[in-house]
Amino acid sequence: MNSAGIIAVFMAALIFPGIILRTKSIASGRKGPGIFQPYKDISVLLKKGSIFSTTTGTIFQIAPAITLASLLCAAFFIPFGKYGALISFDGDFIFFSYIIALGRFFSIIAALDTGSSFEGMGANREAFFSMLLEPAFFILMASFAMATGYTSFTDIFINFYLSGNNFMLIFGLLGIFVFLQTAMVENCRLPVDDPKTHLELTMIHEVMILDNSGFDKALIHLGTYLKFALYGLLIFNLAVPPAWTLPVQIACFLVIQVVLAVIVGLIESFRARNKMNKNPKYILTISGVAWIAFIVILLVGERFIN
Distance CA 23, CA 66 (A): 31
68 within some domain: yes
Rounded average pLDDT over 50-62: 90
Question: Coil, strand or helix: which one is 80?
Answer: strand
**Does residue 90 have a pLDDT over 50?**
yes
DSSP structure string for 197-241: ---GGG-SHHHHTTT--HHHHHHHHHHHHHHHHHHHHHHHHHHS-
Please report whether residue 188 resides in a domain. yes
Q: Is the pLDDT reported for residue 171 higher than 90?
A: no
Evaluate whether residue 271 is within a structural domain: yes
Angle subtended at Cα 66 by Cα 77 and Cα 264, rounded to the nearest 5 degrees: 65
Is residue 143, in this structure, part of any structural domain at all?
yes
Structural domain boundaries enclosing 268:
3-298
Give pLDDT, residue 201: 67
Question: Region 242-247: what's the mean pLDDT?
Answer: 84
Average pLDDT over residues 156-180: 77
Does some domain include residue 306? no
Mean pLDDT of 105-128: 91
Q: 231 near 186, Cβ under 8 Å?
A: yes
Please, are residues 14 and 35 in contact by the beta-carbon 8 Å criterion?
Answer: no
Average pLDDT across the chain, whole number: 86
Number of domains forming the structure of the chain: 1
Residue 245 binned pLDDT confidence (cut-offs 50, 70, 90): confident
Residues 6+ apart with CB under 8 A from 295: none
Expressed in percent and rounded to 5, the helix, strand and coil fractions of the chain are 70, 0, 30
**pLDDT recorded at residue 305:** 41
Tell me if 189 sits within 8 A of 252, measured CB to CB: no
Residue % of the chain over a pLDDT of 90:
32
Average confidence (pLDDT) over 13-40:
88
Count CA atoms closer than 13 A to 85's CA, side-chain side: 25
Is there a domain that residue 59 lies in? yes
Distance between CA atoms of 140 and 235, rounded to whole angstroms? 13
Query: Would you say residue 12 lies in a domain?
Result: yes
In a domain, residue 225? The reply is yes
Res. 240: pLDDT tops 70:
yes
The structure's pTM equals 0.91
Q: Which pLDDT does position 223 carry in this prediction?
A: 92
Burial 237-249 (b: 16+ CB within 10 A, else e): bbbbebeeeeeeb
Q: Do residues 90 and 145 make contact, with C-beta atoms less than 8 angstroms apart?
A: no
Selection from 190, 182, 226, 230 nearest residue 206 by Cα? 190
Predicted pLDDT of residue 1: 57
Question: Dihedrals φ, ψ of 83, to 5°?
Answer: -90, 120
Amino acid found at 70:
S
DSSP H or E run through 262: helix 246-270
Is the pLDDT score of 92 beyond 80? yes
pLDDT for the residue 304: 39
Residue 58 in this model has a pLDDT that exceeds 50: yes
Q: Residue 229: name the closest of 80, 113, 119 by CA.
A: 80
Distance CA(291)–CA(277), nearest Å, equals: 23
Query: Per-residue confidence at 303, pLDDT binned at 50, 70, 90?
Result: very low
**Res 302: pLDDT:** 53
Q: Can you say whether residue 206 is alpha, beta or left, with left for phi > 0 and alpha for psi between -120 and 50 degrees?
A: alpha
- Residues for the chain: how many in total? 306
